[in-house]
Structure 1
Amino acid sequence: MALQHVLFVCLGNICRSPAAEGVFLHLIAREGLEDQFVVDSAGTGGWHVGNPADRRMRAAAERRGIHLPSRARQIELADFTSFDRILTMDDDNLRNVKALGRELGNRPGLARVEPMTSYCRQHSATHVPDPYYGGEQGFEHVLDLLDDACAGLLESLLQDSGRRL
């Protein structure tokens, strides 16, 4: 399997996308596939650049044995050529990422941009809600959605490469 580069994107890169990154890293480590993926996260906005994930999201993830190692950064044009897939958390993220990508034109080799929830197998969510202004249950719900979507994403990537879990 060729090395797969996966980028998760939300608004500020402190809740949803670092959680998706952590969940996906946790899944590939469990399957012994760390050497087959490059995984990162970014935000469409730059307000939190350099900050760790939100402490509430880190705590919710840690309760599940998931570490969130990333520091917030903003998505940039180079990400469209560095990554194979860019997964967005909601319609605004999707729209903003696609608008940024249009600056590069319609040339081959650019990342495939798609909604994270398109990989959900158990949940019928259309987006991963931003838990930032809510309570603890919001962070748990986001992790439930991301567990489902990341498992579906990994399965899809492995099927595309002719492998199975």
Structure 2
Amino acid sequence: MTIGDQPVTVWWLCSGNICRSPLVEHLAHQSAIAAGLAERYLMESAGVASWCGGKPTHRHMRAAAEAAGIVLPQRTSQKFQPQAVKDSSIVIPLDASVRSYLEDFEELEGKILGLRDLGFGRDEMPDPYGKGEKAFALAVEQAQAIAQGFTRHISTV
């Protein structure tokens, strides 16, 4: 899916952009590459929390990803700016509180896609922050499923 010659920007959003959303962004990008769809979709991630911005991916998230054979790129978190969303954007909140926050912005109407739409089974990817190694390992498994579901979804559009 492109709008004219422009790729569709896909925003993966969580609270702080240090655990879930950077992982899903990376995995969705890799999955789109494998499916030959990467030139049509630009993956981005951001957080909606007021403290978000300028922090690296959480060390436990990085370790859990590496344990699964995933090397996350170096990056720093960014705060989501609704005005950055263009006509050719999809916004995917990773939990109900983020979705609730997004629904306050008129410019996002019709652009929000839920995790259920990607075949995840629910619209909530639990935040592993502060919950230990097992929670981060589970987040990696869930992120892989979400990324694969996204690729299946865009393959049919």
If the length of structure 2 is used for normalisation, what is the TM-score? 0.85
Question: 1:58 and 2:62 equivalent?
Answer: yes
Gaps of 5+ in 1: 161-165
Residue in structure 2 matched with residue 42 of structure 1 by the alignment = 46
Residue in structure 1 matched with residue 111 of structure 2 by the alignment = 112
1:146 offset after TM fit, Å?
Answer: 1.6
> What CA deviation, in whole Å up to 9, does each residue of 1:113-146 have, x standing for no partner?
122343135xx34410010011111111112112
Residue in structure 1 matched with residue 101 of structure 2 by the alignment = 96
Q: Any conservation in 1 of the 2:56–2:76 contact (CA below 8 Å)?
A: yes
Gaps of 5+ in 2: none
**What is the percentage of aligned positions where both structures have the same residue?**
26
Residue in structure 2 matching 1:77, options 75, 82, 85: 82
**Distance across 2 between alignment mates of 1:32 and 1:78:** 29
Residue in structure 1 matched with residue 32 of structure 2 by the alignment = 28
**Distance across 2 between alignment mates of 1:120 and 1:147:** 12
Residue in structure 1 matched with residue 142 of structure 2 by the alignment = 145
**Distance across 2 between alignment mates of 1:59 and 1:130:** 16
**Distance across 2 between alignment mates of 1:83 and 1:53:** 27
Aligned length: 152
If the length of structure 1 is used for normalisation, what is the TM-score? 0.81
**Distance across 2 between alignment mates of 1:61 and 1:25:** 15
